[in-house]
Chain A
Amino acid sequence: MDRRDFLKIMGSGFASIAGADLLIPKRPLASTPGTEFYGILVDTTRCIGCRRCELGCAEVNGLPLPDISESTNQTVLKTPRKTTDRQYTIINKYETSEGPIYVPKRCMHCNQPGCVAACPVKAMRKREQGHVTWDVNCIGCRLCMISCPFDIPKHEYSKAFPRIQKCNLCWDRFNQGQLPGCVEVCPTQALMFGTRRQILEEGKRRIAANPGKYVDHIYGEYEVGGTSHLYLSAVPFEQIGFRNDLGTVPYPEYSTGFLYAVPFIFVLWPIAMLGMNRGTKKENGEEKEEHHGEETDKGKH
């Protein structure tokens, strides 16, 4: 065989190994091939607070199933809750000027997640398809919890071998061509799954086609640099538990200033210090020895 054939075989061999390694979805859900971010459009005007999304999520992730009977819901929904290390998504009820509004809360799967930028071992990763997932090489430093503007990652404090728990947009199911568990069971299709482009388009279409029904703002379009979970609402977002002071700067950019300075300091500091050391050197080290001699004398009193 000649060199060209050999290289071809080796190249294709490596490529196939690498390709099998990557978790490429077998059947993309939308007709668009290639890699786009996927996300969920949450239409809070459609949510009826039945909490079946919580049940579906718990089922597909092996978590304890929440009690979602209507009588329990009335008590549970009285005060806004947070996601926990046992519940990746929860519904909160807010009394607003338009009556009660139910809002699902879960990981926003930001375009540029703060948690991913904070993780020293790449346990938090943003996959090519937009899912932000956690992996077991995590060291449990909990910097992701500090860096998340939405306070989503939850640490299992009660366990000796804790993990970080949060929604991962059903990454495993996605790779088998399935929809996320919450989307599959929602009876009113308040959750729409699709590529970020598709759901953004749909969000804008709904706002335009229903004048006066929605507030003209899609939460997550630009917040913290854009997220893959987009929300539509009939009332201003502060009334339904969203922070409007998070800005549009992607969170990793807050630490890039420091990180960009690192190479400079690494190069310039040693040079400067070496220079100063050489610059302050006394002639041929004589004085230094003398000084030592003095000391020795004094020490021998």
Chain B
Amino acid sequence: MRRTVLFLIIGVIYLILIAAGLGMVYTAGEPVPAKEREIAKPDNKISIAHAEIFGKLERPQVIFDHKKHEEAAKSEGCGTCHPVNDKKKLLFSFPKDVKGKDKEAVMRAYHDACIGCHKQKRIEHKKSGPLVCGDCHQDKYTLVKPISYPVVEFDFERHDKHVKKLKETLGKDTCRQCHHTYSFEEKKLVYKEKTEESCYYCHDLDKKRGPEVAAIIKVSAEKGLSMQNASHQECLNCHLEIRKKKGEKEAGPTECMKCHTGKYKTTAELEKIPRPDRGQKEKSYIYVENAKLKGVSFNHQTHQKYSKTCMACHHETLKACKECHSLTGKPEGKNVNIAKAYHDMFSEHSCAGCHSKQTAKKECAGCHHNIVAMDLETMSPRKDTCALCHTGKEPLPMPAPLSTSGLKQDKIKEVTVKVLEKEYEPAKFPHLDIVNKLAKISNDSRLATYFHRNIQTLCEGCHHRSPVTTEAEKNTPPYCRNCHMIVYDKEDLNAIRLLTAYHNQCMGCHDEMKIKKGNSMVFVEGGRCAVCHKKKKAGPAELTTVKNQRVYNQNKKIILNRWRPD
């Protein structure tokens, strides 16, 4: 009897386990990965995580309130925590002395410094910080992304402000205050006039540069002078000094978020700001001895306005391109020859590359996303484009703004596309309005005006693969159906048929130019199709006539409802 009861009890336990197990398994679903949170308001706090040293953290990161500590150590000064170099300048790194670069050493250094100080304060009966692990490595910061402040863009406006301010206070020798270079002979920083450059050249430790600059970068790296450390050291020391002498109002910012605003000026906003004077020429004539094409007349002054930094073009050093890029390539220029240096279509530093990037802007992309300046298969450029730059000592004059007044207005005012009319009404296309709009966009841009020398260039945007001059001469409009078959070409199933040609060309332009109406991805009231052509009230409901007869007959018997398009 007892045994039977025992068996029954075990049986019941089993049943409960099965029920519980099934319940758990049926609601298990897929595991949802924990989402990483971001701290919305960093508030000048600093994350101590050092993923590059510790990898995956065992304990949560420490969020360090610098301001609190600044207040606490006010009397003792920054030197309590931060090391000072031989020139009495603060180095904004922490901890003061780290004996080695491995995990143990770094952790020990932090613990010694932080906990040591907290212990000391406690002994002195002053307000102190945490001593226990979990109070600094707080659990709530486990899934939080480490705080990172946005990069500071020291744009021309800021530079100009500094130049003006320093000129005011010092009068001369203003550049020397910040700019320097490293001398291998003297093994220290020196200043040479008219060689001032961006800090990034020598202090951007991640970038691979040519042999000359790479040697200097090596020195920067040895001294731990990354962009972050170098700029903090340079800027903050100066600002702190001025704050001490003249008070907070006169000095520059010393709080993280005051420099790291995350707000950046656009190229347009910086256009009017005078560029730093390095003795650069207004115009230069770029040519190569015994070259096949004429040289290029380059207006440096206007081009200065088109980028936010000099580094956009002077990517390695503030010298002329020719000095590193020779006809056949030099080691200094990474063996990139001069043709590639000026013409590389995908580089941001070359002339052609930058121009190509401009055509990717939404005002231009409508036509330009389809136009290849270079035939990718034969790798040969369009010959008519070369002559626009290679003009010799004098550039081509700027052409007159484009206008449609010279065209046959009545013929191009409105185009009705009714060749494919079936389910929808014919589409009425405001041709003249569009050409006028494109002309306006072109006239608003110097680059566009220079290259679109006449109105016929604009026609090419849509009437592609059709010689412009011939079309202009002929009396008949260039129909799309002249090249695009109305039905599928069974011999070439990839060929764009007429329906596709209209849809992809028209919608493609609207998509690239980010125009809401007529866009292929943006739902509008009334439907996307209705923007160009309304659906016919009555009309053929059948799109296709040939059926899959066997399947059709089987399925017809089970039709539940037929939706008739309105």
Binding site for B on A (CB under 8 A): 29-31, 46, 48-50, 52, 55-56, 59-67, 69-71, 73-74, 86, 99-100, 156, 159, 163, 168, 170-173, 176-179, 181, 183-189, 192-194, 198, 202, 209
* Shortest CB distance A57–B (Å): 9
A74 touches B523 (CB 8 A): yes
**A-B residue pairs, 7 tightest by C-beta:** A70-B527, A62-B555, A62-B552, A172-B548, A189-B500, A48-B520, A62-B556
Partner of A172, one of B497, B504, B523, B547: B547
Binding site for A on B (CB under 8 A): 376, 488, 490-491, 493-494, 496-497, 499-500, 503-504, 507, 520-521, 523, 526-529, 542-544, 546-556, 558-566
Q: Which residues of B contact A99 (CB under 8 A)?
A: 521
CA distance A173 to B543 in the complex (A): 14
Partner of B563, one of A67, A73, A170, A194: A67
Q: Which residues of A contact B561 (CB under 8 A)?
A: 64
Partner of B504, one of A52, A65, A156, A189: A189
A100 with B521, Cβ < 8 A, contacts A61-B547, A70-B528 known: yes
* Shortest CB distance B429–A (Å): 16
Q: Which residues of A contact B562 (CB under 8 A)?
A: 64-65
B544 touches A61 (CB 8 A): no
* Shortest CB distance B536–A (Å): 14
* Shortest CB distance A19–B (Å): 20
CA distance A30 to B558 in the complex (A): 35
A184 touches B490 (CB 8 A): no
Give me 7 A-to-B residue pairs in the complex whose CB atoms sit less than 8 angstroms apart, sorted by A's number: A50-B529, A62-B553, A65-B563, A67-B563, A70-B528, A176-B546, A187-B503
CA distance A71 to B551 in the complex (A): 30
* Shortest CB distance B144–A (Å): 23
Partner of A64, one of B503, B546, B559: B559
Q: Which residues of A contact B555 (CB under 8 A)?
A: 61-63
A56 with B543, Cβ < 8 A, contacts A48-B520, A64-B559, A187-B500 known: yes
Q: Which residues of A contact B559 (CB under 8 A)?
A: 62-64
CA distance A65 to B556 in the complex (A): 11
Residue of B nearest to A169 (CB): B548
CA distance A62 to B559 in the complex (A): 8
CA distance A10 to B90 in the complex (A): 104
A61 touches B551 (CB 8 A): yes
CA distance A94 to B494 in the complex (A): 26
A69 touches B527 (CB 8 A): yes
Residue of B nearest to A211 (CB): B346
CA distance A159 to B560 in the complex (A): 12
Residue of B nearest to A163 (CB): B554
* Shortest CB distance B198–A (Å): 28
CA distance A56 to B553 in the complex (A): 16
* Shortest CB distance B339–A (Å): 21
Q: Which residues of A contact B564 (CB under 8 A)?
A: 65
B500 touches A59 (CB 8 A): no
New A-B pairs, 4, CB < 8 Å, besides A65-B562, A177-B490: A30-B491, A49-B521, A64-B562, A181-B544
CA distance A71 to B528 in the complex (A): 10
CA distance A122 to B214 in the complex (A): 69
Q: Which residues of B contact A202 (CB under 8 A)?
A: 494
Q: Which residues of A contact B566 (CB under 8 A)?
A: 69
Q: Which residues of A contact B493 (CB under 8 A)?
A: 29-30, 179, 192-194, 198
Residue of A nearest to B556 (CB): A62
